[in-house]
Structure formats: structure tokens, C-alpha cells
Amino acid sequence: MSTADNRGKPARRALLQAALAVPAAGAAATFLDTASAQADSGAYGRFDGVSPRFALAVLPDTQYLFDADSSDPAPLRETFRYLVSERKEANIAFMTHLGDVTEHGTRDEIELAADTFRTLDGKLPYSVLAGNHDINGSDDQRGDSAYLRAFGPARYASMPTYGGSSRDGYNSYHVVSAAGREWLVLALDWRVSDAGLDWARSVLDRHATLPAILTTHDIASSGDDGKAQLSGNGQRLWDGLIRGNDQIFLALGGHYWPPGRTVLTNDAGHDVHVHITNYQDRYYGGAAMIRLYGFDLARGVIDVETFSPWFLARDPEKRTPLEAETIELTGPTDRFSLDIDFDTRFAGFDQSVPPAARPASAVMPRGTVAYWRFDSAGLGGGAGTAG
């Protein structure tokens, strides 16, 4: 946790149904549009690893929800329930927590948080990393802790995405199958040691053809203008790991607020997107707000949205003004799109062949009755019906 300058049920469908059929130019996919029958029924579906569209859920600092006698896990439970219930509709591949799970890192706080995370177990794979409020000691060589006992390697061992952990147990990696290819997710301790950096480099070397997303607690800070700059720890990660590994195209951190983002150029001359995600300064400690990164390989874009499932679940007529204004954040650092030519960006290390195209009916959300089809020039090619 830090400031940048040291100061009813959810209404949703995964993506706009038209967007799933390739939307008009400039139309962004959104996760907050129409009512979801799956959410209403409490059911959840399986993930489609072949569809060119999938979502990565990102959860920042939840520390104020696990703060001694004032702890309240309800917002986080609702966020997790939402992700599980919407996994099929939003095609959510994975969730990653950016650290500072708890406020003091005590055994009671950690155990309550660990119990809350069980909502996801067996339903949605995830990673968690330690923030400065979760542990004592300067780096990942600190040894045993309540955090490590709850969120160490044993927690992820049964997940299909889990690849392994560093010897100390504080760093882990996952291989996520989505959009017909594999993606590497690195979850690094808030103060990764030299040994931890060596471990991370070895993971990248062993998975040299996979695009990689780096997650950690402290990587960048931002002013009110939303322009992120690397923190001291972020600069160390950039120099020692990110800039020389072209696989890393997205780096995510929390710790500081307000949110911000920037684009850096690595040694290969390619873009690396660096984002800060943290809402603990907002009403109810952020109320377990979630950020969804909607990857769309067909459109060459990542659409980003930030919202609170807990407040979405409230009866609209009973929401307070503070709850209403926190349901969804729409500022330029909370709701935006990244244009990425994935094939070109990954060409230097990934020669995999993208999956064959499927008929529109195979990727349409249930209930779609019509869609727009566009030709390669982006011109209208006529309407189609879902069958």
C-alpha cells in the first residue's frame, strides 16, 4: 500500500454479442452490458481455451478487508462468486492478485483471507503474491511466514495452470491456455531477491516461446495525470528482468495509488505496457474491485474495465451514493483499450500457428439472435443470424 507521492445481482454479459462476431471499427467490447442468465442461476460454465477472446481478472490490494477486528470478507467473496458465475460468459481464463492481501499479515488475517479464496478453488485458477503488508523481511529469502503457509506452493499444486515456485516459495508461475495458445504468468514477491530474479529468468528461458505477463506488488507509481513511472523496485525489475526478455509484454502492479499506466520500449524495440491497479483509497477500501483485461486476438486489442461486483449485486434502489459511484470506474486509467498486433508483437519468439477460424455460432453467447459481419477492410459485409 502506498500513495504515488507518499500521501439483485450483477447485470452483465461477457462481451457485447456483436463484438463476439467482430465489432464495428472503434467499438470496444464490454463486460457490463446485459443481464446474465448464468449469474442469476448461480451456475458457472467451463472455459473455452480456443476462442480468440478471453479475460484475465486482476485484483489489487484487498488489505482493508482483512484488517484485524474490522475485517469484512464479504466484498471479496462476492467478487469471487461473480468471477465463478461469469467464467463461461466472460471466458475468464485466470485471476491474479497483486499483493497486500491483508493489512498486518497476522495469522488470523491470513487465515480469513485464505478461507475466502477457497471460493475459487476448483473453479477458477489464480495466483497470489506477497505485498509488504503480508509479510516481514526485505525480500523473498525471509523464510517461513503465515502468508507462505497459506499461499505457498501447496495452494496451487492442484491447479491445471500451475508450473512451479521458486525454492523459497514466494514466487510462482502459471501457464494459461487461452485463445489457442499458451501464456506465461509470473507472480513475483514484492521484493524479489537476486536469486528470485535468476529463478524468473530460468522460467522464461524454459518457456521461451510463450508471451509473458509479469505481476508483482510494487512496479510503478503515478500522479493524478495517470502517467505511470517506474518505482525504485520497478526500475530494478526493468533492468534485471523485463527489458531484456521480449516475452514480457504486460507488467502489472498495485501498492501505489492513483492508478496509472505507461508504455516502455524494451531492448528488442517492442512495447511493454506497465499498469498500476489499486483502489484501496476508495469507498470501503475498494470493495474488492476487479479489473478485467479482455483479450481479443481477432481484433488485436485488450479492452480493460474496472468495477465492483459487490456493489453491482446490491438492489439499485438501496445503493448509497458512494456505492453507486464506485460500481464502475470509467476514467482513462480505469477503462481503456490497448491496440496490440499480437502476431507481430510475439513474432520474435513465438512461431505458433493460430487456431483455425470457427463458425460464428460456435463463439456466440447464448441468446444471440443476430450479429454483424465485417470484411477484411472493416466494411459491413451484412448481417447474420446465430444458429
Question: Which of 284, 280, 238 shows the shortest CA–CA distance to 98?
Answer: 280
- C-alpha–C-alpha distance, residues 233 and 109, integer Å: 26
Q: Which residue reads 528461458 in cell numbers?
A: 205
Question: Which of 247, 306, 309 shows the shortest CA–CA distance to 275?
Answer: 306
DSSP-derived secondary structure for 207-262: TTTS-EEEE-S-SEEE-TT-BEEE-HHHHHHIIIIITT-TTEEEEEE-SEES-EEE
- C-alpha–C-alpha distance, residues 52 and 20, integer Å: 9
273: β partners: 250, 263
- For residue 110, report the phi and psi dihedrals to the nearest 5 degrees: -65, -45
Number of CB atoms found within 10 A of residue 115's CB: 12
Number of CB atoms found within 10 A of residue 125's CB: 22
- Which CATH architecture group holds 2-17+30-356? 4-Layer Sandwich (3.60)
Residue 373 grid coordinates: 459481419
Question: Which of 206, 338, 329, 362 shows the shortest CA–CA distance to 262?
Answer: 338
Number of CB atoms found within 10 A of residue 329's CB: 18
SS3 203: helix
CB 306 within 8 A of CB 328: yes
- pLDDT for the residue numbered 351: 73
- pLDDT for the residue numbered 365: 61
- C-alpha–C-alpha distance, residues 297 and 54, integer Å: 9
Q: How far apart are the first and last CA of the chain?
A: 49
Half-sphere exposure for 98 (CA within 13 Å, toward CB): 31
- C-alpha–C-alpha distance, residues 350 and 247, integer Å: 9
Taking CA atoms, 62 is separated from 69, 73, 186, 347, in Å, by 15, 9, 20, 37
Q: What is the pLDDT along the chain (387 residues), one digit of tens a residue?
A: 665 433 333 343 332 232 333 333 333 345 554 333 333 333 334 899 999 999 999 999 999 999 999 999 999 999 999 999 999 999 999 999 999 999 999 999 999 999 999 999 999 999 999 999 999 878 999 999 999 999 999 999 999 999 999 999 999 999 999 999 999 999 999 999 999 999 999 999 999 999 999 999 999 999 999 999 999 999 999 999 999 999 999 999 999 999 999 999 999 999 999 999 999 999 999 999 999 999 999 999 999 999 999 999 999 999 999 999 999 999 999 999 999 999 999 999 997 655 555 565 655 666 666 655 444 334 344 444 433
Chain centroid, CA 142 distance in Å: 27
| Contacts with 228 (C-beta within 8 Å, 6 or more apart), sequence order | 220, 221, 222, 260, 261, 262, 274, 275, 276
Q: Give the total residue count for the chain.
A: 387
Question: Which of 291, 322, 273 shows the shortest CA–CA distance to 59?
Answer: 291
CB 255 within 8 A of CB 61: yes
Q: Locate the domains of the chain by residue range.
A: 2-17+30-356
| Contacts with 32 (C-beta within 8 Å, 6 or more apart), sequence order | 11, 12, 305, 307, 328
CB 217 within 8 A of CB 100: yes
